[in-house]
Chain A
Amino acid sequence: MNAFKDAGHLFRLAAVFVIGILAFLGIRAVLVPKSFGQYGHYRGDALAEVAARPVSFAGHQACEDCHTDVLEKKKSGRHAHVNCEACHGALAKHANDPGSVQPAKLDTAVLCVRCHEANIAKPKGFPQVASADHSNGMPCDTCHQPHSPAIDGGGTAKETTKETAKQ
């Protein structure tokens, strides 16, 4: 048994390795978050954390639940497909507490031209005006009602879809 007479060294070395591996596993168990690897090589809890952010835009469904009169007006006009918050801005606060949070009054001189100011890069079928010489400085809502902007009261939803299809 000469070959094994110094086997004690090997046992000590093995012990060092075992302790090292145990320490690694122990530290790893403490440091790696519980949800890491739940769905993949990342923290599963991160999904819920990202999703926990509060909402700023209430969504048109929330608006339409109360403002049925506006919905009715919009339905037959050229702006039927424009969501409320596209012009009125983010109003989740108002939707959650309609009593105390009131939306700000809008300025049509600013809002309308955002979309309808003429620009060479806009789709050809989109209604555009050079605001400087279109209205003689009058605010847009003197003639156009934003919820149903056609002046003669015409401009059915059907026409709108035709227009969109053409583009």
Chain B
Amino acid sequence: MSVTRRHILLLLPAAAVAWKHVLAGTPEVSPNYKLSEHWWSMLIDLPKCIGCGNCVRACQTENDVPDGYFRTWVERYHVTDYDIENPHVDSPDGAKEGFPPSKEKGGKNFFVPKMCNHCADSPCTQVCPVGATFIAPDGVVLVDKKYCLGCRYCVQACPYGCRFINPQTMTAEKCTLCYHRITKGLTTACCEACPTGARQLADLKNPNDPIHEFLKTHNVQVLKPYMATHAKLFYNDLDGSVR
């Protein structure tokens, strides 16, 4: 029997279904966790942040972050009157012990928690020469410790300064969005420890996530949008002076 055009046309849908299976990938991270059903992000509700440093301490406990290094930290901004180009920023020990009273008087003062933006077009994963850092199918930017050479390209590439070289392992390290927690249905350690709800883990692929309503009704901004990183760390009520 010769293969006719009709046969090929009949085979096409079957091939499409098979290819979809190939793309979906078989093994999953956790038995009840489907990589393809999530697209993780985080909401930072700045008017709620009180600069207590609970998130910083929680992150260090949860992830064994070495002293003096931070996967998340909190900055205090002080803007004098009109000079929004030159804010005074401090973050003593990453705000691990909170903040001492401000030296500055007057002006505009507020806290800004910082961490990995889990960019959808992340510069850090693009520069890795060995494929040791990557955007997981659920939108989390991760580092493969076993594959990382410690070349520091990614540390330089991150526009937000969110990566460092772990002095013990000499490999790149960053916020994993508590990947070991969110794949088990828990929220991140920083969100769990935040007393005011200033941080909220959000799943953009979940239509019932409150993030969608929030994004519609608030003035939400990402950091350095001109870098076109498609950051997924959404800041509510972000001041123009924040770098």
Residues on A facing B (Cβ under 8 Å): 36, 38-44, 46-57, 59-60, 81-83, 85-87, 89-90, 114-115, 117-123, 126, 164, 167
Q: CB of B137 within 8 A of chain A? A: yes
- List chain B residues, Cβ under 8 A from A122: 50-51, 111
State A39–B195 Cα separation when bound (angstroms): 37
Contact A114 B77, beta carbon cutoff 8 Å: no
What are 22 A-B contacts with C-beta separation under 8 Å?
Answer: A42-B133, A42-B144, A46-B145, A47-B29, A47-B179, A50-B176, A50-B180, A55-B184, A56-B61, A56-B62, A57-B189, A57-B192, A57-B193, A59-B181, A85-B58, A86-B192, A86-B193, A89-B61, A115-B50, A119-B51, A121-B51, A164-B48
* CB-CB nearest in chain A for B101: A119
**Sample of 20 more A-B contacts, CB < 8 Å, known A90-B61, A119-B50:** A36-B131, A38-B25, A39-B137, A41-B131, A42-B133, A44-B27, A46-B144, A47-B136, A50-B176, A51-B183, A56-B61, A57-B193, A59-B192, A83-B195, A114-B52, A115-B195, A120-B104, A122-B111, A123-B50, A167-B47
* Interchain nearest-CB distance for B44 vs A (Å): 14
* Residues 140-166 of chain B, each 1 if its beta carbon lies under 8 Å from chain A, else 0: 001111110000000000000000000
Interface bits B76-107 vs A (CB < 8 Å: 1, else 0): 11100000000000000000001101101100
Given A57-B58, A90-B62, residue A42 in contact with residue B134 (CB < 8 A) = yes
Contact B77 A121 (CB under 8 A): yes
User: Given contacts A114-B53, A119-B99, A121-B51, is CB(A86)–CB(B194) below 8 Å?
Assistant: yes
Which residue, B35, B50, B77, B143, has most C-beta atoms of chain A within 10 A? B50
Q: Is the interface of B mostly helix, strand, loop or mixed?
A: loop
B48-A167 in contact (CB<8A): yes
CA distance A126 to B50 in the complex (A): 8
Candidates B53, B147, B180, B183; contact of A46 at CB < 8 Å:
B147
- A133–chain B nearest beta-carbon distance, Å: 14
Contacts of B109 in A (CB 8 A): 120-121
Give B residues with C-beta under 8 Å from A.
25, 27, 29-30, 35, 47-54, 58, 61-63, 76-78, 98-99, 101-102, 104-105, 109-111, 131-137, 142-147, 176, 179-181, 183-184, 186-187, 189, 192-197
Contact in complex: A39, B136 (CB < 8 Å): yes
- In the complex, chain A residues whose CB is within 8 Å of the CB of B54: 86, 114
Query: With a CB–CB cut-off of 8 A, which chain A residues contact B58?
Result: 57, 85, 90
Chain A proximity of B64: nearest CB distance (Å):
9
Contact between B179 and A51, CB atoms less than 8 A apart: yes
Q: A47-B29, A47-B136, A115-B52 are in contact. Are A83 and B131 (CB under 8 A)?
A: no
Q: Which 6 A-B pairs have the closest CB atoms?
A: A46-B144, A121-B109, A53-B180, A42-B134, A42-B131, A86-B195
